[in-house]
Amino acid sequence: MLSKIQNASEYIQNKLGERSPKIGVVLGSGLGHFAELCQDKLEISYSEIPHFHQTTVVGHIGKLVVGKINGTEVAIFQGRFHYYEGHPMEDVVLPVRVLANLGVQNLILTNASGGINPEYVPGDLVCLTDHINFFGNSPLIGPNEDTLGPRFPDMSETYNKELNSLLIQSAKELGANLKTGVYAGMHGPAYETPAEIRMLKVVGADLVGMSTVPEAIAANHAGLKVCAISCITNLAAGISKEKLSHDDVKVVANMAKEKFSDLLAKAIEKIGS
């Protein structure tokens, strides 16, 4: 694992030269368009980076884009690897660990998710305040690499309160309605059953998806400050009578792209300053 991190980091650093982004972003399903807003950008395909996998899910382009958003230099992963694609956890979180190795200090995770909270509607943006791990696995399973982080990392503030405050402040300045909630991470790839959604509601989940949790754990292990924005692209199974479809996820994410991009850009500006 350490050699994978080092090899990938060295390749990316050689491409970056003197550039040194301090903010990392991972773009979820249907949200990859944000990277196109970067100025003075450098693009690296995942296929070029040692040990990176090519993305297979529609809506995940598979590029690292480094550039400036409102004057702040960022490293943006345009698409992610998912556990349900058959990748081991150490590969799922490899991009996050590479960012930490490159000196990134703040990480913004994004995803598309299903709404459980009855106050959510498709197109809403949600700032994650916590998560529940239903993956049945963790990127920290196995021998601990002390150079990456402690054996037993504290997770009492997985999503950094300071960064969340900046997200909320950014939304207020934009006049956007940013919700807050607890995210349930399921390994997928099948959507949840209505019974599973009822269970998740009972245990305190407001929204559900198939990503983010492993990356948030690995980032906290590495000492990064983390926040996350979720786009509600559908109501979870059993809440509405509609059948769930990834095509619908892409459509709603595309409809929300302007307010998502505005919020993310404003938050990057605030975090960067």
Angle (CA) 184 213 130, round 5°: 60
Does residue 159 carry a catalytic annotation?
no
Does residue 234 carry a catalytic annotation?
yes
Which residue in 210, 218, 228, 236 is the catalytic one? Answer: 210
Which residue in 53, 82, 131, 221 is the catalytic one? Answer: 82
- C-alpha torsion 81→42→69→24, nearest 10: 40
Contact 223, 157 (CB under 8 A): no
Which residue in 7, 43, 70, 84 is the catalytic one? Answer: 84
Contact 232, 118 (CB under 8 A): no
Which residue in 111, 170, 211, 230 is the catalytic one? Answer: 211
How many whole angstroms separate alpha carbon 142 and alpha carbon 217? 14
Q: At what angle do helices 257-272 and 161-174 cross, to 10 degrees?
A: 130
Does residue 87 carry a catalytic annotation?
no
Does residue 215 carry a catalytic annotation?
no
Which residue in 85, 145, 157, 269 is the catalytic one? Answer: 85
Which residue in 234, 236, 253, 267 is the catalytic one? Answer: 234
Does residue 246 carry a catalytic annotation?
yes
Which residue in 43, 246, 255, 261 is the catalytic one? Answer: 246
Which residue in 112, 205, 218, 222 is the catalytic one? Answer: 112
Does residue 53 carry a catalytic annotation?
no
**Furthest CA-CA distance within the chain:** 53
How many whole angstroms separate alpha carbon 42 and alpha carbon 66? 5
Does residue 82 carry a catalytic annotation?
yes
Which residue in 9, 29, 164, 220 is the catalytic one? Answer: 29
Which residue in 9, 46, 53, 60 is the catalytic one? Answer: 60
Catalytic site positions? 29, 60, 82, 84-85, 112, 210-211, 234, 246
